[in-house]
Amino acid sequence: MRKKIVAGNWKMNNDLAQTETLITELKAQSNPAEVEVMIAPSFTNLWQAFNSLKDDSIEVIAQNMHFAESGAYTGEISAAMLKSLGIKTVILGHSERRAYFNETDELLAKKVDAALANDMRVIFCFGEELADRKSGNEEVVVESQIKNALFHLGADAFKHIVLAYEPVWAIGTGETASPEQAQDMHAFIRKTVADTYGNDVANNVSILYGGSCKPSNAKEIFSKPDVDGGLIGGAALNAADFYAIANAF
């Protein structure tokens, strides 16, 4: 059975003191059974966060990494560095990385390979822009993002991949995909995986929704059969809101 996951992507928010405060508030909440809860603080606060949550079931994950093992890549972070802290999961392909840091499908394929070679789990993000949806091209765009970055992998690799559909027009805008839009796209994504890798692989891969997910809409979105959880931005910065979402299944 595929896992239910709620992951908080803190993006470039929270300094060290704010990270400690939010983690203290998160620890005061009780973790829902059968839902994996994760948070992705910034690189500078990963070590602190990891240690603060050592005895908690919340997993601390990274927002990004470089594909190289080490070398002359000023300002970058490798999988080996993350692993040395105890980090086992990394978000790759977020639309903000694609839009502001020119991350292409080709680059992301290399990052995915590097993460898997280091025994890390990948939360792979993708999603169409507003213009794509308006022109009815959302499935074409999503299919090519997934295929270009992931479909060179063998079927076994999908045990370590979580898919995160994040329509760009819904991120940080307050506009959420309707539960039906999310379900339609998630079903399409699962079928795309099934067509190449078979039903077993497709039925076991978790597909998260991201984009203005909040306590008020999470229940309905998570009730859809192909939605296995959420990747949460703004609402993950508030402990009560984040846990209201994690408890929305």
Binding site for ligand 13P (CB under 6 A): 9, 94, 166, 171-172, 210-213, 231-235
Rounded to whole angstroms, the Cα distance separating 212 from 204 reads 25
Q: How far is the CB of 120 from ligand 13P (least distance, A)?
A: 18
The smaller minimum CB distance to ligand 13P, of residues 41 and 211, is found at 211
For every residue of 176-220, DSSP letters joined together read ---HHHHHHHHHHHHHHHHHHH-HHHHHHS-EEEESS--HHHHHH
Active-site residue, selected from the candidate residues 66, 128, 166, 186: 166
Task: At 193, list the tokens.
Answer: 């995986």
Q: How far is the CB of 103 from ligand 13P (least distance, A)?
A: 14
Residue with smallest beta-carbon separation from ligand 13P: 233
User: Measured in Å, how far apart are the chain's first and last C-alpha atoms?
Assistant: 15
- Would residue 138 show up in a list of annotated catalytic residues for this protein? no
Q: How far is the CB of 245 from ligand 13P (least distance, A)?
A: 10
Rounded to whole angstroms, the Cα distance separating 164 from 124 reads 6
Q: How far is the CB of 232 from ligand 13P (least distance, A)?
A: 5
The smaller minimum CB distance to ligand 13P, of residues 197 and 209, is found at 209
The smaller minimum CB distance to ligand 13P, of residues 229 and 234, is found at 234
Active-site residue, selected from the candidate residues 94, 103, 138, 186: 94
Task: At 125, list the tokens.
Answer: 């993000």
The smaller minimum CB distance to ligand 13P, of residues 168 and 201, is found at 168
The smaller minimum CB distance to ligand 13P, of residues 201 and 236, is found at 236
Close Cβ partners of 115 (under 8 Å, ≥ 6 residues apart): 65, 79, 90, 92, 121, 122
- Would residue 166 show up in a list of annotated catalytic residues for this protein? yes
H/E segment holding residue 162: strand 161-165
Q: Among positive and negative, which fits the CA dihedral 49, 246, 234, 191?
A: positive
Query: Starting from the edge strand earliest in sequence, which strands make up the sheet with 161-165, in order?
Result: 59-60, 35-40, 4-9, 229-232, 207-210, 161-165, 121-126, 89-92
Q: How far is the CB of 124 from ligand 13P (least distance, A)?
A: 12
- What are the catalytic residues? 94, 166
